[in-house]
Structure 1
Amino acid sequence: MKNVFNEKDTVDLLGQIVNIPSPSGFTKSIMQFIGTYLHDLGIEYKKTNKGAIIATFQGENNNVHRLLTAHTDTLGAMVKEIKANGRLKLTMVGGFNWNAVEGEYCTVHTAYGKKIRGTILMHETTVHVYRGAGELKRDENHIEVRIDEKVNNAEGVRKIGIEVGDFVSFDPRFEKTESGFIKSRHLDDKASTALLLQLMKYLKEENIQLPYTTHFYISNNEEIGYGGNSNIPNQVVEYIAVDMGAIGDGQSSDEYTVSICAKDSSGPYHYELTRQIVELAKSNNIDYKLDIYPYYGSDASAAIRAGFDVKHALFGPGIESSHAYERTHVDSLRATAHLLYVYVTSPMDSED
């Protein structure tokens, strides 16, 4: 197996991109970063009208293509209401539980570029005042942002530049432990994004010619359902979503292997392509788990729903506590990186 996984470079890159705020709908900065990263490597790319990036590597066979995608957009929120007490009511961007962000530091991004810090809290947080607050439902009627400005009414909040519709990003709190764990918000799907960027870097620097023309699609709207369902070249036969493996009771996935998805809430993934990926893992001694994600959808399933005639599959690193304060291990990143490389350099089962 070629040394396709550089742990330090991958982890450093991941730390950089998780610290760039990018809730769905507010992804300009992260996409600019990725564009600069590719440009500095001499990799050409194009941007879609929705702001996604597609980089293409010409293959020996240009009649049938492959496409791999990961997404940079994350969970977040928007200001729904400026309350009379000077605090902010939120509306979710993406799907998560409010308790997953209770107590988290956040940033309000105003329309004029100002960044205002705050904390996401229950309105009834003070235990010396609100008896039984622990039993209250964590929802949009109780959760609010306490902004770190000397304001105590709606007029004061508006004077400092905050308005309804402003985006709110959550602090990632990225950390790598000595034992190899990586803890951070937004590993879904910035861990996979870092792996695809590193793969492109390796292919470019080693001047590796792929057997088929291959597109790397960095999407920016997956969390709201339509990140990678357009701008797919007609020659694409195989479409791979590189996204997190879901961990929990009844799941096979873990934090140390690459997770290959057989089915999610959209239905089964393409059986023959999935089996091909499993066989690639087996024949190359890559640790993997085959799994089903019950409450999950991907850019690959979005492409199928949009009507694209492609074989679709999904694999990626195992991510614990998805859509909360997530965690994975470098072993899972390594296994995913190796499977990505052997996949893009492998023959298709059939070219008919």
Structure 2
Amino acid sequence: MTVSTDYMVETFCALANIPSPSGNTEKVMAWIETELKRLGIRFFRMNKGAVMATLPGANDEKHRLLTAHVDTLGAMVKEIKGNGRLKLALIGGFEFNAVEGEHCQIETDSGRIITGTILSTKASVHVYGREAGKMERTEQNMEVRLDEKVKSREDVLALGIRVGNFVSFDPRVTVTNSGFIKSRHIDDKASVAILLGVLKHLKETGTTLPYTTHFLISNNEEIGYGGNSGVPEKTVEYLAVDMGAIGDGQTTDEYCVSICAKDSSGPYHYGLRKHLVRLADENGLNYQVDIYPYYGSDASAALRAGYDIVHGLIGPGVDASHSHERTHKEALDNTAKLVLAYLQSEKMQA
């Protein structure tokens, strides 16, 4: 019996369709709490809004912690323009060209949802010609066209829209017959689905892990501090389950579990990395080891916060990260199998 791929895919689709830009994650965290209750997993809500679930292990002197984050890229209303359109301030590390033409929704302070589209200020080639394509995509040159009859700032204010309202992007989740998963926010809702799938498997099989293990579903990773506090004092190993970056010079693809050797914060723990590679080899998994040059994780954030831990990073290979992303069911399956092998291993790195 292995972790259910169908469960992981269904869980990802449910999570992806709940808007949760960093700073506005209450709805998705409530969904996670409901699912953990259904699975019979003990958990608690942390002050920053994250959820920590715990499985008691045979050894309670040393603990492990795994984390995945459910917050996503997004935006906030920065300015209401005189013509009734909105300027945005981005939340998370991405470029405006990654969301140009995307449908979006604005959540007002009262909870009302108003939809729109993100466009350049010179979107029409029939009016602006080549300038429409050549214009740099910056905060000054991008705007939201609201799906409401608005022609002025006052019209927008009458809708309840204010500076600071959160803006979410339509994920456009698609699962193809060939097994591909296309969506925004695969980073990192796919890995949250993987951890929930592993928890479901462990609960249903009655498996007792060799070490007490915590599962942290963080909600501020995209802005740098999701998993840098509240780490239980007995924690020795800290494994972030995020995503493997695909691109020129990378070995990771959309079918494997990617094991990170180094990111922008520096090398991950060498002993833990080699242990993960051994487990992948022993279990016949499709994996690759890579360096992610423009990347940081909750594990590296915990180290910067001063925690005395052994840290690692793995995840399914994801194409076009922080844009319209894609992965494959096989990547989820390989990642879940490596997570399960790691959790059941008795070798501790410290």
TM class by shorter-chain length?
over 0.9
1:4, distance to aligned residue in structure 2 (A): 2.1
Question: Aligned residue for 1:263?
Answer: 262
Question: Aligned residue for 1:19?
Answer: 17
> Equivalences for 1:37-56 in 2 at 5 Å?
37-56=35-54
Question: Aligned residue for 1:228?
Answer: 227
AA matched with 2:28: I
What is the aligned length? 349
In 2, distance between residues paired with 1:189 and 1:260? 15
> Equivalences for 1:341-352 in 2 at 5 Å?
341-349=340-348
| Aligned partner of 1:36 among 29, 34, 37 | 34
Structure 1, residues 234-253: CA drift from partner, whole Å, max 9, x if none?
10000000000000000111
Q: Contact 1:276–1:349 (CA<8 Å) still a contact in 2?
A: no
Is residue 60 from structure 1 mapped to residue 58 from structure 2 by the alignment?
A: yes
In 1, distance between residues paired with 2:256 and 2:10? 20
AA matched with 1:19: N
AA matched with 2:312: A
In 2, distance between residues paired with 1:341 and 1:8? 17
In 2, distance between residues paired with 1:118 and 1:173? 15
Runs of 4+ in 1 over 6 A off after TM superposition: none
Is residue 324 from structure 1 mapped to residue 323 from structure 2 by the alignment?
A: yes
Question: Aligned residue for 2:177?
Answer: 178
In 2, distance between residues paired with 1:205 and 1:118? 43
In 1, distance between residues paired with 2:315 and 2:126? 46
| Identity across the alignment (%) | 59
Question: Aligned residue for 2:246?
Answer: 247
AA matched with 1:186: H
In 1, distance between residues paired with 2:158 and 2:325? 36
Is residue 154 from structure 1 mapped to residue 149 from structure 2 by the alignment?
A: no
Q: Contact 1:4–1:341 (CA<8 Å) still a contact in 2?
A: no
Is residue 195 from structure 1 mapped to residue 194 from structure 2 by the alignment?
A: yes
Question: Aligned residue for 2:303?
Answer: 304
SS of 2:341 mapped into structure 1: helix
Q: 1:92 to 1:350 in 2, by over 3 A?
A: closer
In 1, distance between residues paired with 2:2 and 2:157? 50
AA matched with 2:145: R
AA matched with 1:115: I
AA matched with 1:253: T
Structure 1, residues 260-306: CA drift from partner, whole Å, max 9, x if none?
00000000000001100110000111110000000000000000000
| Aligned partner of 1:107 among 105, 117, 142 | 105
AA matched with 2:249: G
AA matched with 1:221: N
AA matched with 2:308: D
Q: Contact 1:287–1:335 (CA<8 Å) still a contact in 2?
A: yes
Stretches of structure 1 lacking an aligned partner (at least 5 in a row): none
SS of 1:193 mapped into structure 2: helix
AA matched with 1:338: K
Question: Aligned residue for 1:78?
Answer: 76
SS of 2:346 mapped into structure 1: coil
Q: Contact 2:272–2:349 (CA<8 Å) still a contact in 1?
A: no
In 2, distance between residues paired with 1:349 and 1:101? 43
Is residue 91 from structure 1 mapped to residue 89 from structure 2 by the alignment?
A: yes
AA matched with 2:115: R
AA matched with 2:113: K
Question: Aligned residue for 2:5?
Answer: 7
Mean CA deviation greater in 16-25 or 127-136? 127-136
Q: Contact 1:61–1:211 (CA<8 Å) still a contact in 2?
A: yes
In 1, distance between residues paired with 2:215 and 2:2? 17
SS of 2:126 mapped into structure 1: coil
In 1, distance between residues paired with 2:50 and 2:84? 36
Question: Aligned residue for 1:130?
Answer: 128
Q: 1:326 to 1:350 in 2, by over 3 A?
A: closer
In 2, distance between residues paired with 1:13 and 1:195? 9
AA matched with 2:237: E
In 1, distance between residues paired with 2:40 and 2:28? 19
Question: Aligned residue for 2:332?
Answer: 333
In 1, distance between residues paired with 2:145 and 2:30? 30
In 2, distance between residues paired with 1:72 and 1:302? 16
SS of 1:217 mapped into structure 2: strand
Is residue 286 from structure 1 mapped to residue 285 from structure 2 by the alignment?
A: yes
1:350, distance to aligned residue in structure 2 (A): 5.1
Structure 1, residues 137-175: CA drift from partner, whole Å, max 9, x if none?
011111100000001100000001100000000000000
Q: Contact 1:173–1:185 (CA<8 Å) still a contact in 2?
A: yes
Mean CA deviation greater in 244-253 or 130-139? 130-139
SS of 1:128 mapped into structure 2: helix
AA matched with 1:109: E
In 1, distance between residues paired with 2:41 and 2:263? 33
